[in-house]
Each structure stands twice: as C-alpha cells, then as structure tokens.
Structure 1
C-alpha cells in the first residue's frame, strides 16, 4: 500500500496555468470526473493576466479542501519547471500526477494507475499511451493518433533500459499528462530543473526517473494531448528551436548523471548521444551557413 498518512489524499494532481483560461475548465473537470475520488488538486498560476485565477477560485469555493490555487511569491511568471516545483512543495499525496491546462485525463486514469502502482511497491512511475488530440477542433481535418510505445506494453522495466532507448528515440517519451509518480521519488531525485522554462522541461525529471527507478509501461490510453498553434511544442517547432533545446537538455543530463552518481554505463550512454547529436547539429549549421 502507498504510505500516505491518514486524512491525506492518495493522489496530488498539479496543473500549471499561464493565461490558459480557454481550456482550463475542461482540464479541471477531467480531474473532478475521475472514478478515483481520493485526490487533491493544486493549480499553480504562473503569473497569468487573464481569468485563469478567477476560474480556479470558483472551483475552490465549490470544492473546499479539494482544490487549491497557488502562485509564486511575487505573482510573476517563473516558467513551467519552477511552477511544477511550487506545486510539489505543497503536495500531500502518496502519488503525484501532472496535467497541463490545455489537456485532459480519461476517467479511469488515476484508478487504474494507482492500482498498478500499489501492486508493486518498488515502482517509481507508470505511464501509458497519450492520444495526440486534433479532433477537439471540429475545423481541423487531421486525425487523432498514438505514437508507438517502442517497448512491449504492460510490463515493468528496470533502469536504465528505458532511458537508453529514450535517448536513442526508440521509445515514446513519457508525457506529463499521462504519468503517475510516487511522491518519494521526488524526495530522492529532486523535481524539475528551474532553468528549463519550456521545451524539455518535463524530461529533466523523467530522465532521472528512468535512470534510477523501475517504471511500468502500459498499453492503456489515459490522457488526451491537445494539439493547437499556441502550445509550447508548436511555438518551439515554428521557431526552429527544437534542436538547440535538445542539445541543451543532453548537456544538462550529462552533468546531472555524474552528480547523481549514475553508473558508468548510464553516463557513457548519455555522453555518446550528446557527442553524436552535437556533431550532427554542427554539420547542419555549417551546411546552412555555406548555403547562404
């Protein structure tokens, strides 16, 4: 059984919102609609100037003790990582689950994930399939789809098997809207890296989890990942910033694995991927300059 104290929730759900009023109610309602009701919801307002805070205050009044609005000490924007860490500092649940303000959970997510986690106390994290969700927009003719998991589903993987395959782009990246994490793992490994404000901010924790903890990968679909032009990933792709963001992440990971006392095997895997991708990026940059 999970080690939450009497009177504390089984799961802490954390939403970070920055000017997300358009989709926020739908995200919150998908948590309220969970078949497992033993949860608390912490919504971290990352300096919004729209009606996001007012929306959550309404939920606070309707669900006292279940929903709480948090903010940074200066009420300014600090980025996704710092905001997730702000929520973690207040979390009381034995498990933590994240949901972006524009995504949704399916009703059985928490119930099914908690059941699997409690059947194996050694598990640090669980994740499954995430629906890449276009059909929310009736004007978009693109079809919803699922990325391949890249591994046999419904199985436990001991470290560092998933990290190695993730760095080689052979497995689906865990998504924050899909994962459930044992709270004690954050206490052991630390949370998210504040300097990563947007892209790869989630991987600064997931990579540590895959390197050091047993992880269960499921074939179940537990979340819908909304696709729209204002999302962080869409903005980064349009700006051509994805490659630089990945190199920055790999450099960070290379140092972090050494600091965390990772095995020689893990550190060599990270270093080889960093060296290869840096070399490839430099080749592309030289080619682009010569073509000007």
Structure 2
C-alpha cells in the first residue's frame, strides 16, 4: 500500500465474497460505475462453492488491470477478516474502501470522499450516512431509513470522541460499505483481527482507527446496506447471541488498547461499555455464542 505512485490507482476497492453470486454483479457494477475512475477492484473469494469466482473472472477479462480475483493459498474459507486482510496485502491505492458482496455504492462515493480526504492530509478516514436498504425487495415490509450520526455532519473530529460513540452502540458509526480509509492507516494500526470471523469483525479495525486518527463525518449518503434474512449476522441476532458477541469484542478491545498504551479516557470508555453489556447478557448466552461464532460465515 503506497501513496499513489505513478501507474498505481488512487483507490483500492475490496469485495469479500463467500457464496454471494446472487448480489455480486450488482455490487461490482456499483464500483465500476463510480464517477471517479482511478480505482482498482480486488475481489477476494473466501472459499465459495457457487459461481462467484466465475462471475469475477468475467469482469477480469473485460477490465484487465482494473479487476483482480484473489483467494487464499488453500482456496478454503478463512472468514471475512482474514479475507479483508488478504485484499489489503495486495492493495496498491493511496486509499482503501470495502464493499460487502450484497451491498452497493452510490455513484459519487469515491469522488466526493477522495476530494475531502485530499483537502486534509491528516485525516485517517471519512464516512457518511448508510441507507438501511429494505426496498430492494418489492414486497419489503419495512421502509428504508438512516440511523442518526450522533454528531454534527460535515466536520472533522479528533479522537477519541467517535471511538466513544462507537462503543455506545446507539448511532451510526463507520460501516464497511461506507468508509474510505487512508492506506497508511492500515500500515500504522494493522488490519482486521483474523479471529473475528463474523460479528464485530469490522469494528476490530474501526475502533483502532477512531481511537488514534482524525476522521471526517459527512451528511452525505454514499452506500446502501442490503437487509435480508440470509446474512449470518441476522441469524446470530435471531439466536440471541449478539450481546455475547459484543462482550467478546469489548474484551479483545480492552487487551488491544492496553497493549497500545491507550489513554485513560479510551480505556474508561471500554470498561463502561463492558459493564453495561455484562449486566444485560447472561453467562449462558456467552457460552452459546462461543460455541456458535466459529462455524458461522459471513
């Protein structure tokens, strides 16, 4: 990951796919249709057994040098965190953006985000509003909506304010389909935590980023987050294991921030979040989550 050397793309877009053929073309097309054209698309196949790889090979042939299909060394499923890190290892852009295989970007996302990032070289990340997208189904029984941002939009924020908002878990914070990160941030902080194969896997990076780097929060909507019953996150929520998964994440975060010598304010925010969650989640639920989280897939 470098600072846009000659011949390298401005942005690296990364899609991780695991048996995602149903929505994959729509996701890829939303990247190809960006008004900013200085990008590369890396699609990491996380051990799919459907036609996902075939679909992306077609894009590779039509857009040589722009689209690349990647996989793990053994072509098996390693989970979404390890797969995002696989993409990061191959990324050449000065900026990195992720898109899940069932979500989409709006056409001006990269152009508008890169413009803001380049106006402030100290920014580590930018994110805006994400549409909670039900209307992709004609028979949807819920309307689309946005979560509140929790801060005034169109402003830069120094850490750790946004980190504290992330831990409160009451407003929208960065989403993988919405955020744009400076590639150097991954070099400084590391990527995603491979042991998190499912829930809160995105927050293993976003928490680090918001704890240590300035971020810009926009009022613009840049992505659509598809709601459907096939996602593993929905399955785990229905199983009642989300609270225990959050405790697992907070305990990991507490160790990570201690190792990084984080400030007392950051550590205190984690302790407060842990205390709040442990009051709500029984030991039985935690054990049930630990039994279930490894078999789950993204």
> Normalized against structure 1, the TM-score is what?
0.95
Give how far 1:215 is off.
0.4
- Aligned-partner Cα distance in 2 for 1:3–1:19: 33
Comparing 171-180 and 52-61, the one that deviates more: 171-180
Q: Deviations over 1:21-66 (max 9, x none)?
A: 0000000000000000000000000000000000000000000000
- Aligned-partner Cα distance in 2 for 1:202–1:143: 25
1:56 corresponding residue in structure 2: 56
2:288 corresponding residue in structure 1: none
Contact 1:10 1:38 in 2 (8 A): yes
2:6 corresponding residue in structure 1: 6
1:155 corresponding residue in structure 2: 155
- Aligned-partner Cα distance in 2 for 1:214–1:17: 30
Task: For structure 2, list consecutive stretches of 5 or more residues without a partner in the other structure.
Answer: 286-298
* 1:199-210 superposed matches below 5 A: 199-210=199-210
Contact 1:159 1:210 in 2 (8 A): yes
Helix, strand or coil: the match of 2:100? Answer: coil
- Aligned-partner Cα distance in 1 for 2:268–2:181: 26
Comparing 163-172 and 24-33, the one that deviates more: 163-172
Comparing 267-276 and 154-163, the one that deviates more: 267-276
Give how far 1:142 is off.
1.4
Task: For structure 1, list consecutive stretches of 5 or more residues without a partner in the other structure.
Answer: 286-292
* 1:70-109 superposed matches below 5 A: 70-109=70-109
- Aligned-partner Cα distance in 1 for 2:245–2:284: 15
Q: Cα RMSD over matched residues?
A: 1.3
* 1:176-187 superposed matches below 5 A: 176-187=176-187
Give how far 1:116 is off.
0.3
Contact 1:151 1:171 in 2 (8 A): no
- Aligned-partner Cα distance in 2 for 1:269–1:234: 27
The question of 1:193 aligning with 2:193 is answered: yes
- Aligned-partner Cα distance in 2 for 1:228–1:203: 21
